[in-house]
Copies of this chain bind each other. A is one copy, B any other.
Amino acid sequence: MLHRIVGVTVRDVRFPTSSEQHGSDAMHSDPDYSAAYVVIDTDCGLKGFGLTFTLGKGTEIVVCAVEALAALVVGKSLQEIVNDFRGFYRLLTSDSQMRWLGPEKGVIHLATAAVLNAVWDLWAKAVGKVRALIVSCIDFRYITDVLTEEEALDMLEKAQEGKQQREEQMLKQGYPAYTTSCAWIGYSDQQLQQLCTDALKSGWTKFKVKVGADVEDDKRRCRLIRQMIGPNNTLMIDANQRWDVAEAIRWVSNLAEFKPLWIEEPTSPDDILGHAAISKALAPLGIGVATGEQCHNRVMFKQFLQASALQFVQIDSCRLGSVNENLAVLLMAHKFKVPVCPHAGGVGLCELVQHLILFDFICVSASLHNRMCEYVDHLHEHFASPVVIQDAHYMPPKDPGFSCEMLESSVKRHQFPEGEVWKMHK
């Protein structure tokens, strides 16, 4: 079957998370976790579901961008797309007129991710399990100085060894996760303590704390968490781009006593050389730098790796150009021996990224050393196949597809501005 694409619809779906300060951090005080949610219809009735994550206002801009890209997709067959997936990726990202709006960054790239996520979902559902020539999905443009197609093939070939055991290991134990749900910046100390107690009881051992608004607050909150989790559990801190370079080094040095494994997003996501300077300054304190949730494409990740500007690669399933671009980043990270610890949370990011991190372990890195995937315990109830967490591990998804199909009832209720939830909010 060709699965010809006969329609692409996109909806603006928003959850009023800001009302309870879920997701709040030093730069995003009131996010309403949202998505531009894409459904691809085919002539055989099969559907592909995809999304990109947003924070509320402006989601309509991404919706508009998806509608612009849809013109490039409708009429194509799935077969045609996956037979030259690299070409299709290039078609979406390098349209002679639209690339000016990026290229491969911001709204247009978020929209590309949403569309491509839906294509991957469709593909997986059409064939049960995608067995692709991985390199044929990757656009190597602009990264051949670090990774060529031949090198990628070679890396994937080498990782064949032990693949089946790793697959079995994942099916049994799952992929290690850490939690960000305990310590959003808008939570009170009491709330933080309660959530941390609950998380410890549920088996969590790795905890992320939002910092960066006020250093004394940060000290108090980090002390509190460190006391609760003890010296052997893992603490990470996340400033969400709050600082300039020198400020980042000073501020994090002030928090070094709490032994964070990493400082996440210390400064502008564009500042490769700034992150390199911060990495260098913090290395003697045993603190690594993590970034990536707003790293907009493979060219940026390439440079972060070249410049030793990060020690943890935080890929995002909706900021990069879907699986295609994430594959390139996973392979480059492996080449530089830097662990990948994906960004998740938001709306559907956990559902999407679990596929990528399982692929990384089973088919690329073959290592769990210093690796873990973010987990946030919100909004999973809106998905048809929500992630399954057992003992602080992501258990491999069982249903075919890319796991980001939302319940139609949830979509309807949360559509902005006409859904029931937003009518009540007015």
Binding site for B on A (CB under 8 A): 27-32, 54-58, 60-62, 64-65, 68, 94-110, 141-145, 241, 244-247, 267-274, 277, 294, 296-297, 299-300, 302-303, 306-307
A303 to chain B: which residues have CB within 8 Å?
Answer: 270-274
For the complex, give the distance between the alpha carbons of A29 and B108 in Å.
19
Choose one: B27, B68, B241, B267; the contact of A60 (CB below 8 Å).
B68
- A54→B99 CA distance, assembly (Å): 10
Q: How far is the CB of A37 from chain B (nearest CB, A)?
A: 16
Residues of B within 8 A of A297 (CB): 270
Return chain B residues, CB-CB under 8 Å to A58.
65, 68, 95, 97-98, 100-101, 108
**Minimal Cβ-Cβ distance residue in B for A24:** B96
Contact yes or no, B273 A55, CB < 8 A: no
Q: A31 near B64 (CB under 8 angstroms)?
A: no
B-side contacts of A102, CB under 8 Å: 106
Known: A55-B100, A96-B28, A98-B55. Contact between A108 and B61, CB under 8 A? yes
Flag if B103 contacts A144 (CB, 8 Å): no
The reply to whether A142 and B244 contact each other, CB–CB distance below 8 Å, is: yes
Shortest CB–CB separation between residue A422 and chain B, in angstroms? 14
14 additional contacts (CB under 8 A) given A30-B97, A31-B100, A55-B97 = A27-B99, A28-B96, A55-B100, A60-B64, A61-B65, A100-B294, A101-B106, A106-B106, A107-B108, A142-B268, A142-B274, A144-B245, A144-B246, A273-B303
The answer for the CA separation of A94 and B68 in the assembled complex, in Å, is 26
- The reply to whether B267 and A101 form a contact with Cβ atoms under 8 Å apart is no
| Candidates B97, B108, B272; contact of A106 at CB < 8 Å | B108
Q: Which residues of B contact A269 (CB under 8 A)?
A: 103
Contact of A145 (CB < 8 Å), options: B31, B56, B103, B244: B244
Q: Which of B62, B109, B142 contacts A267 (CB 8 A)?
A: B142
Q: Of the candidates B29, B64, B98, B307, which one forms a contact with A96 in the assembled complex, judged by CB atoms under 8 Å apart? A: B29
Docked complex Cα distance between A28 and B98 (Å): 9
CB distance from A404 to the nearest CB of B (A): 18
Closest approach, in angstroms, between the C-beta of A67 and any C-beta of chain B? Answer: 9
Residue of B nearest to A29 (CB): B96
Partner of A299, one of B30, B68, B268: B268
For A100, the closest partner residue in chain B by CB is: B55
Whether the pair B31, A96 counts as a contact (CB closer than 8 A) is yes
What's the least CB distance linking A3 to chain B, in Å?
A: 26
Looking across the interface, which residue of chain B has its beta carbon closest to that of A66? B61
A92 to chain B, nearest CB (A): 12
- Residues on B with beta carbons closer than 8 Å to the beta carbon of A55: 96-100
Tell me which residues across on chain B come within 8 A of A98, comparing CB atoms. Answer: 55, 57-58
